Amino acid sequence: MNEVFLKRIEQMLGAQQTQQYVQTLSQPVYRGLRVNTLKIGVDQLRRQLDLPLTPSPFAPEGLIAASSCPPLGNTIEHRQGLFYLQEPSASSAVTVLDPQPGEWVLDLCAAPGGKSTQIAARLNHEGYLISNEIDPDRARILLSNCERLGVGEATLTCASPDQVCQAVCGWMDKVLVDAPCSGEGMFKKEDQALQDWSVEHVHACARRQRKILDCAYHALKQEGILVYSTCTYSREENEEVIASFLADHPDMELLDCAVDFGRPGVELAGFDSSRVRRIWPMDGGEGHFIARLRRLSANPAAAKKTLPERPVPAEFSAFLEDQLTEIPPLYKRMCGDQAYIQRHPFFELKKIRVLRQGIQVGELMKNRLEPHQHFYTAALLDGVRRHQISLDSKQLQCFLKGEALNLSAERGYVCLAFQSYPVGFGKSDGQQIKNKYPKGLRLR
Ligand code: SAM
C-alpha cells in the first residue's frame, strides 16, 4: 500500500481505525444490487432470486449479496432490468437526495447510470430526469443501462456540466453531482485507481469537482437541493470542496443528510462536519462521501421551449394501437425517421447533444414502423402490451442466442417475456417468430 496514502488516512482516522481500514483491504469487495422498483418490488425480487441477499442499510431498494452468492450479472433477471448491480454504499447518495414523484432532477455526472436509474425508479414516471454524461463512450453505456431498466421519462445528454446547466438554468428541484474523483474507495476493485493515485491527482480532482459544483448551482431552483457525492476519502475532495463552494456561494446552505448510516465527516476548521456523511469500509460499503445543500436565492429559469405537437405518421399511431391494450396519456414525436413517446411534452435543449428523450418506439420505414428494443423494455408500458408471449426456459435460451422460435402466434410484432417480464421482441409470421433481440445483447 502507498505510504503517503496511508499516512493521509491515518491523519483522518487515527492509528487504531487505520488498522481496521487496512484489514478491510484484504477482505472481499462488498457486492450488492439495487432493485428496479419501476418493474418489481423488493420482496418479490428476493423471492424470485432466492439467493443469500439481505437488506442494505443504505437504501430501502438495496440488497447486499453474501460472499456465497453466485455472480448475478448473467441472470435473466439482470437482462430483464429487474435490478442493477451496485456496490452497496453507492446507493446512499440517492437516499440522501430523496427524489419525489413530480420533481425535476438532474444527474450531472451520470454514467454508467447506477444513480440515474435509481432516481428514475424513485420518480416512478412522474416528474422528470435529465441524466448527463460528458464522456461519449460512457454516455452510450448510460443509455444502454437506462434502456435495460426501462427508464422512459428522461432525457439523456452528452455534454459538459457547463453546457447542460446553462440550458436547464433554474429548472431543477434536485441536482446530483456524483463527481469524478480519485477513487480511493475503489482500490480493492480496480488496480488502476491505486496506480493512478497521487496527491497531485487528488488536488486536480478537487479543482475539477469545484468547477462542476459551480455549474450545478445554476441548474437549481430557489429551495432546490444539491447532493454532492464521491467514492473517495480525501478531505480535499470532500469536506474541503464543499467548504470552498459554500464560501463562494453564501446563498447555499449545508443541510444535515438526515440518514442513520455511515458517520460524520472528518474535522475541518470552520466547517460543520456533523452535517455531511462518510461511509468507510468499516461501515458496510467500499466508501462514499455525501453532502446535501439547499439554494436559498431566487434563480430566474431559462426558457423551457416545449416542442410544438405535430401530427405523426399514421403508421406510428397504428403501431401503438396495435401493440397496447390501452394507450396511456402520451406525447408522440418524430425526430427524423425515429419515433418517440413520453408523458411530459417534448422540449428542446439548445446546443446540447441529446442521446434520447423519452421512449424510443422505433424507426419509420417505407409504410411501417420497425420497433426498437426500448419500446419493449419501457417500464411505463408493462401491463398494457397486447401481444405478449411467455417463453419457457428452453425457448428463452434460443431467443437469447438470436434464434428464430417455432411458435405459432398472431402475425406481427410480439413482446417476448419470461415469467411475465419482457426480454425483447420478435416478428411472427403466424408459424415462426423471427428474432429481433439486439445483436449486441445476444448470448454468444
Ligand atoms: N453517477 C454514476 C453512477 O452512479 O453510475 C457514476 C459517476 S462517476 C463517479 C463520475 C462520472 O463523471 C464519470 O462517468 C466521468 O466520465 C464523468 N466525468 C469525468 N470528467 C468530468 C467532468 N469534467 N465533468 C463532468 N463529468 C465528468
Residue 328, pLDDT > 90, answer no
Residue 189 predicted with pLDDT over 90: no
CB 34 near ligand 1, within 6 Å? no
Q: Among positive and negative, which fits the CA dihedral 22, 24, 75, 92? A: negative
Ligand 1 centroid to Cα of residue 442, in Å, is 28
* 112 prior amide bond cis, ω within 30: yes
Helix (H) or strand (E) holding 201: helix 199-219
Report CA-CA distances (Å) from 370 to 63, 285, 375, 426: 38, 44, 11, 11
- Compute the mean pLDDT over every residue in the chain, rounded to the nearest whole number: 96
Say how many Å lie between the CA of residue 183 and the centre of ligand 1.
11
**pLDDT tens digits along 92-119:** 999 999 999 999 999 999 999 999 999 9
Question: What are the pLDDT digits (tens) for 340-387?
Answer: 999 999 999 989 999 999 999 999 998 899 999 999 999 999 999 999
Query: Does residue 359 line the site of ligand 1, with CB under 6 A?
Result: no
Q: What whole-number distance in Å separates Cα of residue 69 and Cα of residue 52?
A: 6
What pLDDT score was predicted for residue 186?
Answer: 86
| 421, pLDDT greater than 80 | yes
| Mutation pick for ligand 1 pocket among 134, 143, 149, 211 (CB with most ligand atoms within 8 Å) | 134
Instruction: Give yes or no for residue 237 CB within 6 A of ligand 1.
Output: no
Strand order across the beta sheet in which 359-365 lies: 331-335, 338-342, 359-365, 368-371
Ligand 1 centre distance from Cα of residue 181 (Å): 8
Separation of CA 204 and ligand 1 centre (Å): 15
Verify whether ligand 1 is closer than 6 Å to residue 283 (CB atom).
no
What's this model's pTM, rounded to 2 decimal places? 0.98
Q: Exposed, middle or buried, 412 (CB in 10 Å: 0-12/13-18/19+)?
A: middle
The answer to whether the CB of 361 is under 6 A from ligand 1 is: no
87 lines ligand 1 (CB under 6 A): no
Residue 327 has pLDDT above 90, yes or no: no
Q: Whose CA is nearest to atom 23 of ligand 1?
A: 208
Q: Could you tell me which residues come within 8 angstroms of residue 401 by beta carbon, excluding any fewer than 6 positions away?
A: 442, 443
**Residues 324, 384: contact at Cβ < 8 Å?**
yes
Q: Whose CA is nearest to atom 9 of ligand 1?
A: 180
Task: Tell me the best of 109, 192, 286, 352 to mutate to test the pocket of ligand 1, counting ligand atoms within 8 Å of each CB and taking the most.
Answer: 109
Could you tell me the three cell numbers for 94?
Answer: 440517492
Query: With pLDDT > 90 as the criterion, what percentage of the chain qualifies?
Result: 95
Our answer on whether the CB atom of 212 is closer than 6 Å to any ligand 1 atom is yes
What pLDDT was estimated at residue 1? 76
Nearest CA, atom 1, ligand 1:
110
Q: What is the mean pLDDT of residues 186-214?
A: 91
With both helix axes pointing from N to C terminus, report the angle between 136-148 and 114-123 in degrees, rounded to the nearest 10.
40
Report whether residue 138 contacts ligand 1, using a CB cutoff of 6 Å. Answer: yes
Determine what percent of the chain is predicted with pLDDT higher than 70.
100
111 CA to centre of ligand 1 in angstroms: 6
How do residues 244-303 score in pLDDT, each as one tens digit?
999 999 999 999 999 999 999 999 999 999 999 999 999 999 999 999 999 999 999 999
Given a cut of 90, whether residue 195 has pLDDT beyond it is: no
The residue nearest atom 20 of ligand 1, judged by CA position, is 180
Question: Looking at 17-26, 80-89, 191-200, which range is the least confident one?
Answer: 191-200
Instruction: Please report the pLDDT score of residue 190 as a whole number.
Output: 78
User: What's the DSSP call for residue 71?
Assistant: P
| Residue 161, ligand 1, Cβ within 6 A | yes
Centre of ligand 1 to C-alpha 261, Å, is: 24
What are the residue ranges of helices labelled H in 220-371?
239-248, 314-323
User: pLDDT digit string (tens) for 31-68?
Assistant: 999 999 999 999 999 999 999 999 999 999 999 999 99
List 231, 257, 335, 398, catalytic entry: 231
Q: Is the CB of 208 under 6 A from ligand 1?
A: yes
183: left (phi over 0), alpha (psi -120 to 50) or beta: left
128 CA distance to ligand 1 middle (Å)? 20
Cell reading at 325 = 391494450
Nearest residue to 380 via CA among 147, 218, 164, 159: 147
Q: Band of the pLDDT at 187, cuts 50, 70, 90?
A: confident
Please say if 231 is a catalytic residue: yes
Pick the closest to residue 116 from 137, 86, 159, 88 (CA basis). Answer: 86
